[in-house]
Amino acid sequence: MQFDLVNPTRIVFGSGKIARLDDLVPASARVLLFYGGGSIKRNGVYDQVTQALGTRIVAEFGGIEVNPHYETILEACDVVRRNDIGLILSVGGGSVADAAKFLASAAMITGADPWDELMAGRYPEKILPVGVVLTLPATGSESNAVSVISHQGRRIKYPFANEAARPRFAILDPDTLVSLDRRQRANGAVDAVTHVLEQYLTVPANTPVQYGYSESLLEVLFEWGPKFVQDNSAEARENVMWAANQALNGLIGAGVRQDWSTHYIGHAITALYDIDHARSLTLIMGSVQRFRLAAKTAMLARYGRRVWKIEEADDTIAAGLAIKRTEAFFREMGCPTRLSEVEGVAFSADDIVAHLERAGQTRLGENEDIGPAEVRKILELAA
């Protein structure tokens, strides 16, 4: 086992914790209050944030879209420079946090196209610090280094990773989740499940801590995800919010081989057909697993037995049952598992493969053996 785990994000978790911004944000900081389409103004989070920031100098930038657009972040770069911003405060879900982390680097780049620079891995030496007030549990973006950004002009959705952009702090107040609608609650819990599975369902390794914790997170998400959707109780909000954070903060993935092929194919599907991130994953994940059954049998069987309590001695049969149970969970959460279930969309394997090629994602999976031809087969299985 080998890894280099850096996670400097300070997590402040619990009801009423937005007030803690007063001690987390330096009194002299010039803050950019950064948010999405306005949910924070309707549910009282905006008021709590501005109250906690008190007399600090605050500029605002709202209007970050779901699946945030590069073009909008470029507008925010101007606001950062004009106001000499010293800290970006993301208030919202994963889209706003992703955009904030990308902005932290992009605003530092002048005289070149930030997208091209960052896609080439040329990150500025110094970038702005980011803090997060999270209002949707799903992505783990509040604790990780990744920004998934959509370039509208080039029709590509791409994950950028910059360690320096990992948020300095994140406030996770489960009360902020009261206003989430049913669809967003389902999407959030399902997305977190896929994050665990893509780090866990690869090949056996001597990483019992990571695998055991992955199983605990899955058990929590399978128990509390449906309750979060159905009654949105205080307990469900707490458990899903914490589990979703832990699912993608780097811990369970440390030192383990990972398979993000479902996410990469899903990003292409969202970019091309405007399908919610979580649903783009449930459409594909079972088919990736069926297609890679031979390579993943050992971990799928372990998962089936430990998490779903499947009593089946034969590994291949146990693995197949585990895939079915996962897909049944996605359907229970109201998410589609076959492309044909999505009405009014004509999926094109050519377009999806072309997106993956534009993004340089042509060697997917833990063995880097899922290329364009294999993606086509996965899409056939998902039909």
* Closest chain position to Zn ion (CB): 191
Looking up tokens 């598992």, which residue turns up? 337
Contacted entry of Zn ion, ligand NZQ, none for residue 93, CB cut-off 5 to 8 Å set by kind: ligand NZQ
Nearest CA to 293 out of 321, 255, 260, 327 is that of 321
CA torsion, points 1, 141, 49, 114, in degrees to nearest 10? 120
Give how many residues touch Zn ion by CB under 5 A: 1
**Is residue 276 close enough to count as binding Zn ion by CB under 5 A?**
no
Rg of the chain over all Cα atoms, to the nearest angstrom: 20
Looking up tokens 């977190």, which residue turns up? 192
Written as one string, the DSSP assignment of 155-196 is TEEEEEE-GGGS-SEEEE-GGGGGG--HHHHHHHHHHHHHHH
**Is residue 191 close enough to count as binding Zn ion by CB under 5 A?**
yes
Contact between 162 and 101 (Cβ < 8 Å): yes
**Is residue 37 close enough to count as binding ligand NZQ by CB under 6 A?**
yes
From 144, 210, 239, 361, residue interacting with ligand NZQ (rule: CB under 6 A): 144
Angle between helices 182-200 and 234-247 (to 10 degrees): 40
**Is residue 14 close enough to count as binding ligand NZQ by CB under 6 A?**
no
User: Residues with Cβ < 8 Å from 114, sequence gap 6 or more?
Assistant: 74, 77, 105, 106
**Is residue 182 close enough to count as binding ligand NZQ by CB under 6 A?**
no
**Is residue 335 close enough to count as binding ligand NZQ by CB under 6 A?**
no
From 100, 170, 177, 240, residue interacting with ligand NZQ (rule: CB under 6 A): 177
At residue 78, the 3 state secondary structure works out as: helix
Q: How far is the CB of 162 from ligand NZQ (least distance, A)?
A: 11
Q: How far is the CB of 253 from ligand NZQ (least distance, A)?
A: 11
Window of 50-58, 107-115, 185-193, 208-216 that interacts with Zn ion by CB under 5 A: 185-193
- Cα 34 to its chain centre, rounded Å, is 18
**Is residue 259 close enough to count as binding Zn ion by CB under 5 A?**
no
Nearest CA to 280 out of 349, 342, 196 is that of 342
Site string for ligand NZQ, 300-319 (x = CB under 6 A): --------------------
**Is residue 141 close enough to count as binding ligand NZQ by CB under 6 A?**
yes
**Is residue 245 close enough to count as binding ligand NZQ by CB under 6 A?**
no
**Is residue 95 close enough to count as binding ligand NZQ by CB under 6 A?**
yes
Footprint of ligand NZQ on this chain (CB under 6 A)?
Answer: 36-40, 43, 66-67, 92-96, 98, 135-136, 138-141, 144, 146, 148, 176-177, 179-180, 184, 187-188, 191, 248, 263, 277
Footprint of Zn ion on this chain (CB under 5 A)?
Answer: 191
